[in-house]
Amino acid sequence: MQTTTTKSQSRTQSLVKGESLQRFLALGALVILLAFFSLISAPFRTTENFTSILVATAVNGVLAMGATFVIITGGIDLSVGTTMTLCSVILGLVVTNSGLPLWLGIPAALAGGALVGMVNGILIAKLKLPPFIATLGMLNVSRGLAQILSDVKPVYFEGHPEFYDLFMGKPILGIPNVVFVMFGAAILASLVLTRTILGRYTFALGSNEEATRLSGVNVDAWKITVYSVAGLFAGLGGILIAARMNSAQPSVGMGYELDAIAAAVIGGTSLSGGVGSIAGTIIGALIISTLGIGLSIIGVPDQWKLVITGLVIIGAVWLDILRRRGRA
């Protein structure tokens, strides 16, 4: 019994050290990127550009937080990008077409995201569909619903200037409110992941789902909850991207899920489950935004930007594999 306890403690310490190392490497990579682009490009080191990086990170950072919860359980969610789009359309229709106040439109968008996430969870937990297949199907469902509801036309918030002002207008110290919303959501998500029963079961599902089930935990219910949380973050992402564009665009959303997953993995969340942190995910999202904006400023073509970003993601996954081999 004592030997088993010692092994468990040793494995836990190894997990913590591995995650801390990955997060440290990601932070180091972010600092190097910022220093590199600042040295070779004067426009990059302007205050306006650093603000642009933070604003660009806001949407992907929020989506990546939800992806972090799911990936820690050992799952995957490919639908967060189009769920974000659907939620922005819901917000636009409630506020613009229905004429309801903003304080009702925002909860409607969040509820729409949570509902999509709950459906994902039911498909995976109850119908036993593989997460990849279930969320890939929901990716298309959400995309189609967004186009049907909007009649494939943008929904503009021109009659509601308070919506843009709330998130993008009247910046504090030159920083729009979307950035503070992202960091506020990050603090809340981190507290949930590290200080609540939902967080404990999220890690338990990813570490050993069968052992968690045998200990009497309702695995299906908690898995549905985790995917609902991911959908809730997608709903928040829909609100933020609608505020940035001052419209709900039914054509956007595709590809955002890959950036969200990449941010989580770069920040140290293991695709094998059981390891991850919100702080690391935010660092990963900042890396993706810094890399994209930096490459654009120095004139790198979009095609090569995709290649470079892809190589960064491959490198992050490779480091995760090496880390898991080290634990083994």
Q: For 174, phi and psi rounded to 5 degrees?
A: 80, 0
pLDDT-derived band at 288, boundaries 50, 70, 90: very high
- Report the mean per-residue pLDDT for the chain: 88
Residues linked to residue 248 through DSSP beta bridges, in sequence order: 155
Residues linked to residue 172 through DSSP beta bridges, in sequence order: 175
SS3 label, residue 230: helix
Domain boundaries, the chain: 44-327
pLDDT above 50 for 35: yes
Specify the residue for token string 């993601």.
313
pLDDT tens across 102-135, in order? 889 999 999 999 999 999 999 999 999 999 999 9
Q: Kindly write down the DSSP assignment for every residue of 231-294, as one continuous string.
A: HHHHHHHHHHHHHHHTEE-TT--TTHHHHHHHHHHHTT--TTSS---HHHHHHHHHHHHHHHHH
Measured CA to CA in angstroms, residue 192 lies from 33, 160, 201, 218 at distances of 30, 33, 11, 19
pLDDT above 60 for 16: no
Predicted pLDDT of residue 172: 79
pLDDT above 50 for 4: no
d(CA 146, CA 214): 40
pLDDT above 50 for 256: yes
CATH 1.10.3470 fits 44-327, yes or no: yes
Measured CA to CA in angstroms, residue 16 lies from 10, 198, 200 at distances of 10, 19, 14
Which class for 208: exposed (0-12), middle (13-18), buried (19 or more C-beta within 10 A)? middle
pLDDT tens across 134-184, in order? 999 999 999 999 999 999 899 998 778 888 888 887 777 788 999 999 999
Task: Convert 287-322 into a string of H (helix), E (strand) and C (coil).
Answer: HHHHHHHHHHHCCCCHHHHHHHHHHHHHHHHHHHHH
SS3 label, residue 42: coil
